[in-house]
Structure 1
């Protein structure tokens, strides 16, 4: 019979981070972020803009529409929320 290691692995896997623009802050403690990336077309080689939308938890309702923010992956908080606000990089002008 094998012995189980007594020390548990306390190191977590690195979490994904994204930088995007806040598109909506109308919900309580939730913001909607649009992340844009450029992907090269497989045949023609032209770079095409692709956008992804994420819902993130904003505890203090601090982010406003147009702010550039950093979000981090976290446990599921609701049906669509799997990200949380880390910091506001740039305020909207």
Structure 2
């Protein structure tokens, strides 16, 4: 049995990373920008702070708007900057 996250290619299992974020731009055709927030802890002062990263993602789903929460998954390169795809809307 294989995981839903693993794809067998040339005898090697590849695990695709999944991230949860929100759509911040939907201006492009079939592409949305998803912002993923993560919480880090400063090594010396032990204060928590939020780091945001933007991922251009391929979008096959209809009706995604700015502010929607989505799950994105690492995938093949769709273009120079787009290496993620939208899996589902939360």
User: What SS does the aligned partner of 2:43 have?
Assistant: coil
Structure 2: gaps (5+ residues): 1-9
CA distance in 1, matches of 2:17, 2:50: 20
CA distance in 2, matches of 1:35, 1:75: 19
Structure 1: gaps (5+ residues): 1-7
Q: Which structure has greater strand proportion?
A: 2
Alignment of 1:77-88 (within 5 A): 77-88=78-89
* TM-score, normalisation: structure 1: 0.82
Count of residue pairs the alignment pairs up: 81
- Superposed CA RMSD: 1.2
Q: Please identify runs of 4+ aligned residues in structure 1 that moved more than 2 A.
A: none
Larger Rg: 1
Residues 29, 61 of structure 1: 8 Å contact kept: no
* TM-score, normalisation: structure 2: 0.84
